[in-house]
Amino acid sequence: MSAIGELAALRRTKAERPKPSPAEQGDNKAALVFLAPWFAGLALITVGPITASLYLSFTDYSLLDAPEWTGLDNYIAMAGDPRLFTSLRVTFTYVFVSVPLQLAAALGLALFLDRGLRGLPIYRSVFYLPSLMGASVAVAILWRRIFGNAGLINQILALFGVEGPGWIAHPDYALGTLIVFNVWTFGSPMVIFLAGLRQIPRHLYEASAIDGAGKARQFRSVTIPLLTPIIFFNLVLQTIFAFQAFTQAFVVSGGTGGPIDSTLFYTLYLYEEGFANLHMGYASAMAWLLLVIIAALTAVNFFASKYWVFYDD
Amino acid sequence: MTEHDLPGADDRATRRGREHDPAAHRGPAGTAAGAPAAARLRADWPHLLRRLGKHALLITAGLVMIYPLLWMVASSFKPTALIFRDPSLIPSQLDLGNYTAGWNALAHPFTHYLMNSLVVVAGAVLGNLVSCSMAAYAFARLNFRGRKLWFAVMLMSIMLPIHVVIVPQYVLFSQLDWINTYLPLVVPKLLATDAFFIFLMVQFFRGVPRDLTEAAHIDGAGHARIFLQVMLPLSMPALATTAIFTFIWTWNDFFSQLIFLTDPNMYTVPVALRTFVDSTSDSSWGSLMAMSVVSLIPIFLIFLFGQRYLVRGIATTGLK
């Protein structure tokens, strides 16, 4: 079961922990030892900083002087910050356009590949490679060259006599190139879909065939329902990942989020405020807003999943 | 979805493939009926055509997918002026000049940044292997108070964006005087903050037969020995998956390296490439491409030789 599946299961079922074997009773001390690094990390690297950033979000803090309590000032400033709203609009557009397209591509190809096609491992590798390299600065640099003024896309368009615009320099297209980027990395959700398709018991297909179900009916009544937990898992994870996209936008726009803020991802603006302008208090408030947005969206996803995700356990 | 299911699932899929293969079905039947080969061939035409069409489609899609990467490699051998004109994959002249120029284009030779990245990656891999396997053992095999709660906390921490904690982390690390060292990049791994891998190993450890660990317990082994001498040796695939993914993620990681490393001496490959791209005029795109290719070689090698673990790893946990 996937991580999301486990979480969903924890929520749905009351604890029926496997009966502890005699060897495993009263392991509190041993657990403390084995979990010591994790507990330390949870306290120092995760929970501590989350709490600290909540405090800092109510202060004016430049790293040089001590934080100065300013109450809700940062949040009030955020409500009147047009660049913040721009960054939210850019990020939401990016997430809500690229994630569905990416998942559709991943699911489509996984279904296409699943029928015991010869050469499956090779195809899978080829489609997977971009998602492995997509997070790197190198490929972001490549993207700049591909969609640049005299880039690969325009060179190919020129072969057909079309003169393409400077995609990255044009505020109407720059975000589009990043959306294409994210869709291009559909390989990892595709591999998850492929693994999910293989988990569907064959006898269900055989039984439904005996009952007279055709291919289309089997797809609708067997494949899709049994795949919904995987679709849900991919949806939650890729949404969270997409909200955190940074490298591509940073490198492609030369760190500015330009042209005219058309690729100003939320993370980019947060970086700029926190680490270029040293507005640590403001950046902390932004971080909290991001946390709330992601938590809310994930909660909506989990809530909505009751209506369309099929669990057979 | 556990690691163990996958190899079996692979076989199943292959078998299913063969059953669906019309040639496998009709071949023997056709021969038994004494049908001439030509007739058999004709009967299979629609199938054959459909399969060919499918492959043609997939090959085209695959080419479109990796064309950018192939073009990057080709461009790295082209004189810069050609990169802006020539969309083809085969350079008209083979030019290694980009590599020699790129290698020395920054304050340090590129080897310096590669070594820096390697140090960070080695620390991160070691940290994750030790700390995550320990935590996973506790979650998978120990019975302690609050296990369910802590397990849920661990799962939720997988989904926590780094941006939420980066500012206070920066404050913390700068007070410890750790900025421009590799400690902010390595110490968190020693503290099992990459919960993804805890989850991956929990999944794997759950599949290790309880008989084996219980036998060791009856023989008087404590948890430390069971963990080190029974569990870990049986879990090499999970450890390999963890090592490989940590390598790739850390090698590619840009955000935290950009924030914690500001001294050019300490730059890792991604940060060095970024300064390169900022200082690049149109005339040195060739060498930039060449260094980009160099920076991807380790990832590509892992992809070639470690694919089995990669595919299992994502299938189990949904890693990126």
Asked whether residue B276 is domain-assigned, the answer is yes
Does B206 share its domain with B299? yes
Does B154 share its domain with B240? yes
Residues with Cβ within 8 Å of B200's Cβ and at least 6 positions away in sequence, in order, are B132, B136, B238, B241, B242, B313, B316, B317, B319
List the alpha helices (DSSP H) in chain A.
3-12, 28-41, 48-56, 73-79, 82-113, 120-133, 137-146, 152-159, 174-184, 187-199, 202-210, 215-218, 224-243, 247-252, 266-271, 280-308
> What's the token pair of residue B91?
């350079």
For residue B276, what is the nearest residue in chain A, using CA coordinates?
A: A141
pLDDT at A84 over 90: yes
The strand pairing partners of A68, in sequence order, are A60
User: How confident is residue B33, by pLDDT bands cut at 50, 70 and 90?
Assistant: very low
Report how far residue B214's alpha carbon sits from residue A216's, in angstroms, rounded to the nearest whole number: 49
Q: Computed over its alpha carbons, how large is the radius of gyration of chain A? A: 24
- Domain extent for B38: 22-76
Say if the Cβ atoms of A42 and B249 lie within 8 Å. no
Does B242 share its domain with B117? yes
* B275 in contact with A, Cβ within 8 Å: no
pLDDT of B250: 93
Does B109 share its domain with B176? yes
* A262 in contact with B, Cβ within 8 Å: no
* B50 in contact with A, Cβ within 8 Å: no
Say if the Cβ atoms of B71 and A152 lie within 8 Å. yes
Q: What is the pLDDT of residues B139-154, one digit of tens each?
A: 988 888 888 899 989 9
Distance between B125 CA and the closest CA of chain A, angstroms: 15
The answer to whether B71 and B292 have CB atoms below 8 angstroms apart is: no
The answer to whether B292 and A141 have CB atoms below 8 angstroms apart is: yes
Say if the Cβ atoms of A146 and B278 lie within 8 Å. no
Does B31 share its domain with B123? no
CATH number, position B233: 1.10.3720.10
pLDDT of B320: 45
pLDDT of A18: 53
User: How confident is residue A294, by pLDDT bands cut at 50, 70 and 90?
Assistant: confident
Q: What is the pLDDT of residues A143-171, one digit of tens each?
A: 888 887 777 877 878 788 777 777 877 77
Does B33 share its domain with B108? no
- For B72, the closest of A142, A250, A254 (CB atoms) is A142
* A159 in contact with B, Cβ within 8 Å: yes
Report how far residue A258's alpha carbon sits from residue A176's, in angstroms, rounded to the nearest whole number: 13
Does B48 share its domain with B149? no
Question: What are the b/e assignments for A146-163, b being 16+ CB within 10 Å?
Answer: bbbeebbbbbeeeeeeee
> Can you give the length of chain B in residues?
320
Say if the Cβ atoms of A63 and B188 lie within 8 Å. no
Does B164 share its domain with B313? yes
Q: Which domains does chain A have, with CATH numbers?
A: 83-308 (1.10.3720.10)
Mean pLDDT of A135-150: 85
**Structure-model confidence comparison of residues B66 and B51, the more confident one:** B66
Distance between A6 CA and the closest CA of chain B, angstroms: 8
* B306 in contact with A, Cβ within 8 Å: no
Name the percent of chain A lying above pLDDT 90: 22
> What's the token pair of residue B71?
């073009």
The answer to whether B3 and B237 have CB atoms below 8 angstroms apart is: yes
Q: Which residues of B touch A3 (CB under 8 A)?
A: 155, 158, 196, 199, 317-318
pLDDT of B26: 38
Mean pLDDT of A170-178: 82
> What's the token pair of residue A82?
């047009």
Say if the Cβ atoms of A188 and B196 lie within 8 Å. no
| Surface of B (100-129) touching A: CB under 8 A | none
Does B131 share its domain with B230? yes
Nearest to A310 by CA among A185, A188, A204, A190: A204
Does B57 share its domain with B118? no
Q: What is the pTM of this model?
A: 0.83
Asked whether residue B81 is domain-assigned, the answer is no
Burial of B218 (0-12, 13-18, 19+ CB in 10 A): exposed
The answer to whether A32 and B31 have CB atoms below 8 angstroms apart is: no
pLDDT of A162: 79
Say if the Cβ atoms of B164 and A50 lie within 8 Å. yes
Count up the domains in chain B and report the number: 2
Residues with Cβ within 8 Å of A2's Cβ and at least 6 positions away in sequence, in order, are A192, A229, A230, A233, B1, B316, B317, B318
Burial of B239 (0-12, 13-18, 19+ CB in 10 A): buried
Interface test with chain A among B10, B142, B210, by most A beta carbons within 10 Å: B142
Does B35 share its domain with B128? no
Q: What is the pLDDT of residues A49-74, one digit of tens each?
A: 989 899 999 998 888 888 889 889 89
pLDDT at A12 over 80: no
Phi-psi region of A257 (alpha: psi -120 to 50; beta: other; left: phi over 0): left
Most confident of A12-16, B2-6, B238-242: B238-242
Does B147 share its domain with B293? yes
Q: Give the number of other CB atoms < 10 A from CB of residue A78.
A: 16
User: How confident is residue B185, by pLDDT bands cut at 50, 70 and 90?
Assistant: very high
